[in-house]
Amino acid sequence: MKTIIEPFRIKAVEPIQLTTQAERRGYLTEARHNLFLLPSSRVLIDLLTDSGTGAMSAAQWAAVMTGDESYAGAPSFFRFEQAVKNLMPFKHVLPTHQGRAAEAMLMSLFGGLDKIVPNNTHFDTTRANVEASGARGVDFVIAEGLDANSLHPFKGNMDLERLEAFMAEHHAHVPLIMLTITNNAGGGQPVSLANIQAVSEIAHRYKKPFFIDGCRFAENAHFIKMREHGQGRRSIEDIVRDCFSCADGMTMSAKKDGLGNIGGWLALNDDELAEDARALLIRTEGFPTYGGLAGRDLDALAVGLKEVVDENYLAYRARTNAYIVERLDAMGVPVVKPAGGHAVFVDARAWLSHIDPLAYPGQALATTLYELGGIRSCEIGTVMFGRQSDGTEQAAPMDLVRLAMPRRTYTQSHADYVIEVFEEVAKRLLDLKGLRIVKEPRMLRHFTCAFEVLTD
């Protein structure tokens, strides 16, 4: 059969509250045109993030009941630890409440003034944690990764030449090298196994630890299996093990490919660093056998980590995005191609070319998708990255709108509805107006800033 079906039946449903366009126009004004400020009950299809928003399986819910809430030495921790080590063979696994807590710990260990951390592309919380330590993050994704139309199969790859040249000059300031799989900020694009291994080789040649931000490791492994020479017959588990066995540690948000609603971890091999990290964990998150989590969360993740490497699940998961990307592309909507692992990225700067980047074409598109169809998406562009540390504002390299797919949550008719809303936007494209920011906080402004729609 050529139809790739959702490989699950639905046992529990969450009703969606239907709203009218007129109601949504009012809600948008109340939220000052910032979609983060909308109550989720006013959203029809919530594609703001794929983080923690997925559906757990019956087996995961059953595992929740086996959770042991002991402060120390709970069996839930050992089940979780074993599930992690089965895929990522690191010596020490420290559970955290989510990914950014693991990043904060990592940067307490490695960050600091005058330090520089290379990555393919830092995710925003990773960059914020690097910078909060006094260090600076630099991004070396390959040039194809910044070209929405390039069909390169691994657009998340690190540019090895640039990394190498940078290391030759600045290695004394580099405490570690990181790689984000998949490359979320660059469109959910994968990194090849060969590239992961080459980055590891460069790091180790300069005697630097190599850490992977592994949030979407299973989706990345699926693309390696589908696209990388010689990997097609291998199991996802084996590919995942290869990806991590050349690293010295990892940070993880288990809200993505842990198939959990909460959770994360920091894993590493070095005993001394692990001792420091444990002390930090106890101070900030919790005792090392629960970290920032309840025993029941650890058990849900232990099961999630087994389910996420299922090839049928991953094929369906990738197909959802590819389906929407193909349909939008056929309609003439500029989208990042090929489709990424967890989201569809629309090039709003190209589509809404009548709106200046400093009038936030991405935000204009995102708010219109909400007004017309109740879809909540996320601007990844000048609103998110435009404010510079010296206080000036600059257009971001791209103005994208991300429609992130929660895992196992929406069906194909929801995808068809999303496509239909884009058809409506296309009909009134030239009526869309830019916005300006009327109030913003000092950092991470996109979460809370208030907008006003520009008039002609």
Sites of contact with ligand F0G (CB under 6 A): 49, 51, 98-100, 123, 125-126, 180, 184, 213, 215, 253, 255, 264, 404
CA dist 174 and 261 (Å) reads 34
Contact residues for 172 (Cβ-Cβ < 8 A; gap 6+) = none
Q: How far is the CB of 378 from ligand F0G (least distance, A)?
A: 7
Nearest residue to 247 via CA among 287, 277, 226, 217: 217
With respect to ligand F0G, which residue has the nearer C-beta, 106 or 148? 106
Q: How far is the CB of 123 from ligand F0G (least distance, A)?
A: 4
With respect to ligand F0G, which residue has the nearer C-beta, 123 or 410? 123
Q: How far is the CB of 36 from ligand F0G (least distance, A)?
A: 11
Nearest residue to 298 via CA among 52, 99, 97: 97
Place of tokens 């097609």: 232
Q: How far is the CB of 182 from ligand F0G (least distance, A)?
A: 8
Radius of gyration of the chain (CA): 21
Query: In this structure, are residues 360 and 445 in contact, taking their beta carbons and an 8 Å threshold?
Result: no
With respect to ligand F0G, which residue has the nearer C-beta, 180 or 377? 180
Bridge pairing between strands 92-96 and 264-268: antiparallel
CA dist 335 and 395 (Å) reads 19
With respect to ligand F0G, which residue has the nearer C-beta, 99 or 175? 99
Alpha-helix runs per DSSP H in 262-376: 271-284, 295-307, 311-330, 348-351, 361-373
With respect to ligand F0G, which residue has the nearer C-beta, 24 or 216? 216
Q: How far is the CB of 101 from ligand F0G (least distance, A)?
A: 7
Nearest residue to 309 via CA among 246, 179, 213, 216: 216
Q: How far is the CB of 452 from ligand F0G (least distance, A)?
A: 26
With respect to ligand F0G, which residue has the nearer C-beta, 260 or 361? 260
Q: How far is the CB of 52 from ligand F0G (least distance, A)?
A: 7
With respect to ligand F0G, which residue has the nearer C-beta, 104 or 425? 104
Q: How far is the CB of 13 from ligand F0G (least distance, A)?
A: 24
Q: Concatenated DSSP letters for 35-66?
A: GGGS-GGG-SEE-S-SSS-SPPPHHHHHHHHT
Q: Look up residue 15 and give its DSSP letter.
A: P
Q: How many helices (H) and strands (E) does the chain have?
A: 16, 14
Nearest residue to ligand F0G, using CB?
Answer: 99
Contact residues for 132 (Cβ-Cβ < 8 A; gap 6+) = 104, 107, 111
Q: How far is the CB of 284 from ligand F0G (least distance, A)?
A: 14
With respect to ligand F0G, which residue has the nearer C-beta, 223 or 432? 223
With respect to ligand F0G, which residue has the nearer C-beta, 49 or 57? 49
